A and B are shown apart, each in its own frame.
Chain A
Amino acid sequence: MIDKIMIAFKSIGKNKNRNFLTMLGIIIGIACVIAILAVGDGFTKTMTKGMGTHNDKGRVTISFEASSYDDVTSGFTKNDISTLERVSGVGHVKLDSSNTAATAKIQYKTKQESTDLNKAPKHLKLYKGVGTTIDKSDMSNIFISHDLASRIFKGESALNKPLIIEGNVFIVRGIYKVSDFNYRPDIYVSKDVFKQLFANQITKNIARIYVQPNVNKKAVGKRAVKQMKKFGEDKQMGSYSVSNPDQISKTFTKMMNYITYFVALVAGISLLIAGIGVMNVMYITVSERRKEIGIRRAFGATSNDIRSQFLIESVVLCVIGGLIGIIFGYVLVAIINAFLPFKAIVTGYSLAISLSVSTAVGLIFGFIPSNKAAQSPLVGLLKEE
């Protein structure tokens, strides 16, 4: 077997240019397969990681959805916590918010608008201005986004300009840029300012229930929702339900399926074209080497030996193409990662798929030419020069 593979390498080496052109199709096809599988795998990993926090053991989440879109005040209350903690099986309850920002009316000279706003993060990279954060108790300084700055201040520099938020005057001390993939509000204020003026806006619309050990959390969730529908303080303003991570994974699976179909299509087309190229080059090889086939047959090669020689050659050609394709795939993934909000990853599984696919292309498209080589009548072959 090893010497047969060596013969294959040798024969391929004899016609480097032609064989490289043939491999090109496989290289592109496999690089695509690697890249798209990596995107799929990276996506899956990011999503399941995100779902993991939802899905924590011993915890069930109940959410409140207000009936009116404008309603920014109703949700779970302190009394609701007590109600929930009396439900059997419940350990303790924590409230949380799914809203990431408050909304506020702002004004500069005669320009007014409504934007979203939050407390400044611990570290923020400024595009203009100095510093990275706003002190907890700072009552006058704010950071605003580059977008907002160009909307409100037009051509002027926004730095050190006053901005009125809900009737209070603040000074713009920094401007930051917002990337397409990372949500940020248009204004950051200090923690204390946010607490005093806007905290009431961040309604507690999520209740995380930590269930007691060895209790069916699904049943606890159901009972808790029932209780809230009866006794919830804001029950008139909206509805309660158990957040179901399975719901997310269903839409996600659907999406992944579309991606998979797309992979199959792109990979299938490029590999089909590549396969036809391989078949063509194998036909040429076989007819160019009729003399060689005749000589080998005369000196003891069976037609099976000849068939396997050309099949191995076709497979080796495709696997070399596949390996180069994998390398290009890595490059492609690195390029894609520069544009993706999550990280595409090449897994061992996708490498295995790529190599099996290259082998299969070699076997399938090398089969007919190899058979032709094996079945040519000997006397004719030996007349070949």
Chain B
Amino acid sequence: MLKISNVGKSYGQFKVLQDIDLEVADGEFLAIMGPSGSGKSTLINILGLLDQDYTGEYLLNDKSYKDTSDNFLSRIRGDQLGFVFQNFKLLTTYNVYENIEIPLVYSKTEQHNKLERVEAVIEQVGLAGKEKSRPSELSGGQQQRVAIARAIVNRPKLIIADEPTGALDTKTSKEIMDIFTKLNQAGTTIIMVTHDEEVAQYAMRTVYIRDGKLYHDAKDVFKND
């Protein structure tokens, strides 16, 4: 699915990411763990084609998008990727249906197909009947379900999730992870950032970031200290 080699990123003198090598296979479910400020969000922003300002090489489905136009990147994001952000990132003035519909507006989906697709994902994440609710009328778990529905409505090949359970209690976290597991079993590749060991258990593989460096094995993380 994707491969990065020797990727780095700095803000001025400050190196947020250094020498990152990572490969993710089709259908894989990868967890990225690491302390706050270690560079997890920075890394997945690069993987999600949201941030083009990095060094090194990144191939998504064997293609480099380093010199691609901004318009084309938007299309790739809309068609192939689905994001679940830290803190849900729902539009508070839009209802559940309208929030989930957003990716379809830009993929030029026909109006009648839109309704079908949105209803189907609402069903899939278990929010049937909540179409007209505002995010403020929903629990944290329900809001995260809306965010997941929005991420999958365009049937992306890769879902990138930043702390999808960060704001949720254990029971709700489990429900959300069950949705992810099902999506993964259906063939979607998932890259998920988390703080939580227990949540990381759902993934097939876990990698670790500390001070901008990536470790493939937990044993190696504190080796240099």
Contact = CB atoms under 8 A, between A and B. Distances in A.
Contact of A296 (B50, B51, B87, B102): B102
Nearest to B153: A299
B202 interface: no
Contacts of A299: 77-78, 83, 102-103, 106, 150, 154
Contacts of A300: 74-75, 77-79, 103, 106-107, 154
A301 interface: yes
Contacts of B115: none
B105 A3 contact: yes
Nearest to B98: A10
Nearest to A296: B102
A304 B71 contact: yes
Contacts of B107: 300
B106 A296 contact: yes
A294 B77 CA distance: 12
Interface of A is mostly: helix
Interface residues of A, number: 20
Contacts of B70: 302-303
B78 A379 contact: no
A382 B50 CA distance: 9
A3 B75 CA distance: 19
A300 to B, nearest CB: 2
Interface in A286-314: 291-292, 294-305
Contacts of B91: 291-292, 295
Nearest to A303: B70
B74 A379 contact: no
A242 B89 CA distance: 82
A59 to B, nearest CB: 65
Interface in A336-385: 378-379, 382, 385
Contacts of A303: 70-71, 74
A296 to B, nearest CB: 6
A165 B150 CA distance: 96
A70 B98 CA distance: 85
B93 interface: yes
B83 A298 contact: yes
Contact of A297 (B45, B74, B79, B111): B74
Contacts of B102: 295-296, 299
Interface string B149-167: 0100010000000000000
Nearest to A374: B70
Contacts of A385: 87
Contacts of B48: 298
A42 B123 CA distance: 63
B106 A301 contact: yes
A250 interface: no
A123 interface: no
B85 A382 contact: yes
Interface string A247-264: 000000000000000000
Nearest to A2: B111
Nearest to A11: B93
A149 B51 CA distance: 91
Nearest to B87: A385
A3 B106 CA distance: 11
Contacts of B74: 297, 300-303, 305
Nearest to A3: B105
A14 interface: yes
Contacts of A291: 89, 91
Given A379-B45, A382-B85, A302 B50 contact: no
Contacts of B85: 298, 382
A341 to B, nearest CB: 53
A185 to B, nearest CB: 71
Contacts of B77: 297-300
Contacts of B93: 14
A298 B45 CA distance: 10
Nearest to A309: B105
Interface in A12-31: 14
Contact of A379 (B51, B103, B150): B51
25 contacts: A3-B105, A291-B91, A292-B91, A294-B89, A296-B102, A296-B106, A298-B48, A298-B77, A298-B85, A299-B77, A299-B103, A299-B106, A299-B150, A300-B75, A300-B78, A300-B79, A300-B103, A300-B106, A300-B154, A301-B105, A305-B106, A378-B51, A379-B51, A382-B45, A382-B50
Interface of B: 45, 48, 50-51, 70-71, 74-75, 77-79, 83, 85, 87, 89, 91, 93, 102-103, 105-107, 111, 150, 154
Q: Please give me the 6 A-B residue pairs with the lowest Cβ-Cβ distance, nearest first.
A: A300-B78, A300-B106, A299-B103, A302-B74, A302-B71, A379-B51
Interface of A: 3, 14, 291-292, 294-305, 378-379, 382, 385
Given A295-B89, A378-B51, 20 more contacts: A3-B105, A292-B91, A295-B102, A297-B74, A297-B77, A299-B83, A300-B75, A300-B79, A301-B78, A301-B105, A302-B71, A302-B74, A302-B106, A303-B71, A304-B71, A305-B106, A379-B50, A379-B51, A382-B85, A382-B89
